[in-house]
Amino acid sequence: MTDRKATLSVGDKSIELPVYSGTVGPDVIDVRSLVQEGVFTYDPGFVSTAACESKITYIDGANGVLLHRGYPIEELAENSDYLEVCYLLLKGELPTAEENKKFHETIKNHTMLHDQMRNFFQGFRRDAHPMAIMCGVVGALSAFYHDQMDVTDVHQREITAHRLIAKMPTIAAWCYKYSIGQPFMYPRNDLSYSENFLQMMFGVPCEEYKPNPILAKAMDKIFILHADHEQNASTSTVRLAGSTGANPYACIASGIAALWGPAHGGANEAVLDMLAEIGDESNIEKFIAKAKDKDDPFRLMGFGHRVYKNFDPRAKVMAETAHEVLTELGLENDPLLRIAQRLEKIALEDEYFVKRKLYPNVDFYSGLILKAIGIPTSMFTVIFALSRTIGWFSHWNEMVSGDYRIGRPRQLYTGPTSRNYPKK
C-alpha cells in the first residue's frame, strides 16, 4: 500500500481519497470517506468495487492467470491433490509431508454424518432438486454442532473446516442416492477423497465398489479447478452473511443458494442443454452461423468467460482430462460428445472465435467429463458446491480472523419522495 492520493471533484468540492496497491493487480481507490461528504459510489454488480482485502486467490483475466496463494492453478492441478489444495487455501502454505499426511487422516475421520441426518433427507420429496436438499442439510449441520461455533475461537473454526471438507462429499452423494431411491453408501476410509465420493455415488451394498483410477483422478482435478475463484457471487454472499456473525454452516448454505443460480453454477449444465439442442453433427454449421448472428438469441455455452479475456487456465487442464476420460470409457463416438469435440475444434480454429477469444472454458469440459462418468446434470452444481466449499470457508475464515464490519451496501433511490397518506 502507498500514501498516494486521488482527487474526486463533486460540483465545486474536491475530495482526496487514498490509493492503495496490492502485491499484484490494479490499484484501488479507498472511497470509504465519501459517506462523510454526503455522496456514495454507484456500481451495480460491484464490477469496479473491491469489497475486501484478501491473500487467498488472484485472477488476471486479461492474461489467463489464476493463482492460489501464489501458485498457478495449472501447477497445482498437475502436481497436487484436492486435499493438499484445501490445506493451502486454509493455511496459506503447502503442507510438509507430515502435515499433509495428518490432514488427510483428519479429513477421513470426519466423513460420517450423524445418523439422525438421514431424517432430513427423508423429509424431502424424491423429485426434489439435489441443490435444494444440499442447501437444507448443510444449514442443518448447525443444529448438530451448535456448541462448537464460536467464530472467535481459532480451534473451533479449524474443526468446522475439517467437518465441512469431509462431510460435503457424503452429503452430495446422499442427495443423489435419495433421488434415485438407492440405499445411502457410507464413506470408506481406505479410499482417497475422490474415490470415496465415486463409491458413495455409484456403489451399492450388495457388491464391492472398485474405483477406476482414471475417473478418480478426473474427479480430483474437477475438485481442484473449482476450489476457489476469488470474489465471485457466491463467495461474496458467504462473506456478506458472515459479516453479520452468522454461524459458518449458515454462511456456507448461503453460498450454495447463490451458486444454484444458472448464471453462476449452472454453466456446465447449460453446455449439455446446448449440445442436446444442436442434436446432430449435421446441424453444427447451422448453429455456428446462429452464434455469429448478433440478432439471433442463440449463444454457444461454455465458450468465453466473463473474467478471462484470454484462455481460461483451468480449461487447458480440463481439456486433457476430458480426452483421457473419454478414451478410458470408450465414449469417443457418443453423439453429444462428438458434437462437443467438433465445436471445440471450430472454436480453436475459426477466425471469428479466435479473434474474439471465445475459447472453450472450464465449464465446457467439466460438463463433458461429468456426463461421461455417469453423473446426471442435476448433480453438476452440487459437485461444484462440494468443490467450492473450501474456497468459501477460507474466505469466511480470513474475514472473521481480522477486523471486519457488517456489510451494508448503499443504493441510488429513485422512488417517490415523502407524501401524505390520502384522507378517507
The vertex-254 CA angle with 249 and 258, nearest 5°, equals 150
369: left (phi over 0), alpha (psi -120 to 50) or beta: alpha
Name the amino acid, one letter, at 93. Answer: E
Amino acid at 28: V
How far is Cα of residue 379 from the mean position of the Cα atoms in its chain? 14
Q: How far apart are CA 17 and CA 34, in angstroms?
A: 9
Q: Which three cell numbers mark 93?
A: 502454505
Decide: 301 and 367 in contact? Cβ < 8 Å. Answer: no
Which cell numbers hold the place of 130? 439435489
Measured between its terminal Cα atoms, the distance across the chain in Å is: 61
**Residue whose entry in the numeric block shows the C-alpha cell 457410507:** 186
420/424 Cα distance (integer angstroms): 12
Q: Where are the alpha helices (DSSP H) in 181-312?
A: 193-202, 213-225, 233-242, 248-259, 267-278, 284-292
**Which three cell numbers, joined as nine digits, stand for 307?**
473474467
What are the two backbone dihedrals, phi and then psi, of residue 72, each rounded to the nearest 5 degrees? Answer: -60, 140
The residues assigned a catalytic role are 264, 305, 363
> Reduced to 3 states, what is the DSSP secondary structure of residue 4?
strand
Q: Say how far apart CA 219 and CA 386 lie, in whole Å.
A: 11
The residues, ordered by sequence, that sit 6+ positions from 320 with a Cβ below 8 Å of its Cβ are none
Task: Quickly list DSSP for 301-363.
Answer: TTBS-SS-SS--HHHHHHHHHHHHHHHHHT-TT-HHHHHHHHHHHHHHH-HHHHHTT--B-HH
Query: How many residues belong to the chain?
Result: 424
What is d(CA 88, CA 82) in angstroms, rounded to the nearest whole number? 10
Q: CA geometry: angle at 58 spanning 54 and 59, to 5°?
A: 140
